[in-house]
Structure formats: structure tokens, C-alpha cells
Amino acid sequence: MLLVMDVGNSHTVLGLYEGEELRAHWRVASAHYSTADELRIFLTVLLQQEGVNPQDIGGCCISSVVPQLNLALQEFSHEAFGIHALMVGPGIKTGLVLQCENPKEVGADRIVNSVAAIEDHGGPVIVVDFGTATTFDAITAKAEWRGTVIVPGIQLSVEALAEHCAKLPRVDITIPPTVIGRNTIANIRSGLTYGYADLVDGLIGRISEEMGATPKVVATGGMAELIAQIATRIDCVDPFLTLKGLKVVYRRNERVPA
């Protein structure tokens, strides 16, 4: 079995593949200072709930944007499963051609998302990932990663409003029935949903124009389903895009020592 992990700033998404089938998946809060022992205990419990013995794990592939966790992640994989985790980063085979000034700056999650999008949909394609930050990755038909647009994520915007505006409350993010709200909570929800959807559509239009193409738009991440209900340029939502990309990257590097 293959265990894949995407460690983000706010959440960690895990998947367990048995062959090509995603047997189980989990979404948990990222603990930025977990030790290898804590990770081993936590993951062992998750696997036991699925009736899986840690000895059944034959491979592990990890993408992480939390550098202070990387060493613990590698140690945990060795201690729990007796294997070296494949960490997504410079020097591994992805199939992408990074057309950027400094490839080391590109987040591992954006790499695996792009790999999965090309694998499933071909190119050109734009991947919109609704995470702590919302990212727009542009990939050509030749698997050339052209670059990214990064904007603050929706939840981050909620927190910023509540923290810096004394009279504005934290709100649950839901779609209000009308754009023009008649109370403070409806006003905020309208801006966070309709406003954000228009931001998404506008950036997709500008990116497509610069690419000189009509790319397919694939969305993923925690708020993808909600915004896709309003945005007109999102073609499909794939909540498991990152996990798929990790599986593909692992397969492409399976015979290379991690």
C-alpha cells in the first residue's frame, strides 16, 4: 500500500492507496511542531481504524509547505514503516517543465496538483487550489508550468476582517440569497462568496489571455465546491487532486532511492 500526505499550513490531507484505488483518506489540522513519535502514534491509530497494519505500507510520498516538519516526517516514515519517504522537491521526476526564475520557490503541493491535472485532463489547464492561500497554476499542453497567481484564501480573509475591524464578526462562509446584504453578516458573506467568485473568474480570464489558449480549469481545496457554485469559469472540482498527484509522482520515482 502507498501512503500519501500533503502537509499544508492549515490542514494535512492523507490518502491510502491500494493499487490504483484510494482506499481511505483523512483531513486533519496541521500540527507544525509534531515530533516523529507523535506522528507515528497518530498515523498508526488512523491506519488501525481502517484495519491496516503499518507493516502493509510499502511506500510513502509527502509534499510539505511546512519546512519545520520535514525532518520529523522523514523520521516518522522510517520508524513507523521501515521505509524512506519520497519528499516532493528539487531533483525528483515530475514530468513538468518549470518555467520560472527559481524552481525551489514552487510549493510542493502546487507541483503535485499540476502533475495530477495534466495526467487526468491534459493541457492546457489551470489549477485553482483553495487553501490558506488560493493559488492559480498555469500549465501548457506540453506540461510546461508557466507560473502562478497567489491571493489570500477565503478563511484568511475572514480572520483578517475580524481581527482588524472591531465591529465585524467572524462568520461562517455560506452563499447568501442576494448579493446586496441587509445586515452585517450577509454583507460579509456576499463579499466572501460572490466577490471571491468574481475574483476567480477574472483571474482565470486574464491567465487564459496571457496563455493564448482556452485551458480547462480544475479546482481543489477546502472551499472549491462552494465557490464553484458561483464562479462561471471553473470546469470541474476534484477534492482528491493532490493525493492523485502524489501517487503519480511516487510511481515516476519508484525505482529511484528517496
pTM: 0.89
Cell of 225: 465546491
Residue 1, classed as helix, strand or coil, is: coil
% of the chain surpassing 70 pLDDT: 98
pLDDT at 100 over 50: yes
Residues noted as catalytic: 109
**117 and 219, same domain (yes or no):** yes
- Residue 78: inside a domain, yes or no? yes
Measured CA to CA, the distance from residue 181 to residue 190 in angstroms comes to 7
Measured CA to CA, the distance from residue 211 to residue 171 in angstroms comes to 37
Query: How do residues 176-195 score in pLDDT, each as one tens digit?
Result: 999 999 999 999 999 999 99
**191 and 103, same domain (yes or no):** yes
Cell of 127: 489549477
Of 43, 67, 87, the one marking the end of a domain is: 87
- Residue 92: inside a domain, yes or no? no
CATH of the domain at 121: 3.30.420.40
Compute, in degrees rounded to 10, the torsion defined by CA atoms 10, 251, 56, 83.
-80
Residues 9, 12, 16, CA angle at the centre, nearest 5°?
155
Measured CA to CA, the distance from residue 60 to residue 2 in angstroms comes to 6
Of 28, 63, 87, the one marking the end of a domain is: 87
- Residue 60: inside a domain, yes or no? yes
Measured CA to CA, the distance from residue 108 to residue 114 in angstroms comes to 10
pLDDT at 256 over 60: no
The pLDDT of residue 8 is 86
**101 and 74, same domain (yes or no):** no
- Residue 154: inside a domain, yes or no? yes
pLDDT at 201 over 90: yes
Select the more confidently predicted residue: 9 or 150. Answer: 150
Q: What is the mean pLDDT of residues 1-5?
A: 94
Burial 37-54 (b: 16+ CB within 10 A, else e): eebbebbbeebeeeebeb
Kindly report the backbone phi and psi dihedral angles of residue 12, in degrees, each rounded to the nearest multiple of 5, phi listed first: -115, 130
Of 87, 105, 132, the one marking the end of a domain is: 87
Contact residues for 202 (Cβ-Cβ < 8 A; gap 6+): none
- Residue 257: inside a domain, yes or no? no
pLDDT at 26 over 60: yes
pLDDT at 258 over 60: no
**73 and 122, same domain (yes or no):** no
Residues 37/62, Cβ–Cβ less than 8 Å: no
**150 and 225, same domain (yes or no):** yes
Q: What is the mean pLDDT of residues 91-95?
A: 90
Band of the pLDDT at 255, cuts 50, 70, 90? low
Residues 224/196, Cβ–Cβ less than 8 Å: no
- Residue 201: inside a domain, yes or no? yes
% of the chain surpassing 90 pLDDT: 67
Q: What is the mean pLDDT of residues 74-89?
A: 90
Measured CA to CA, the distance from residue 190 to residue 182 in angstroms comes to 10
Write down the mean pLDDT value for the chain: 91
Query: How do residues 44-64 score in pLDDT, each as one tens digit?
Result: 888 988 899 888 899 999 999
Beta bridge partners of 128: 136, 219
- Residue 151: inside a domain, yes or no? yes
Domain total of the chain: 2
The range of the structural domain enclosing residue 199 comes to 97-245
pLDDT at 257 over 60: no
Residues 66, 68, 74, CA angle at the centre, nearest 5°?
90
Q: What is the mean pLDDT of residues 202-228?
A: 96
pLDDT at 107 over 90: no
**107 and 81, same domain (yes or no):** no
**Residue whose C-alpha is closest to residue 83's, from 104, 55, 111, 109:** 55
pLDDT at 31 over 80: no
pLDDT at 85 over 80: yes
The pLDDT of residue 103 is 83
Query: How do residues 217-247 score in pLDDT, each as one tens digit?
Result: 999 998 999 999 999 999 999 999 999 999 9
Which spans in 8-153 are helix H?
36-49, 70-81, 108-121
Taking the CB of residue 235, how many other CB atoms lie within 10 A of it?
A: 14
Q: What is the mean pLDDT of residues 136-154?
A: 95
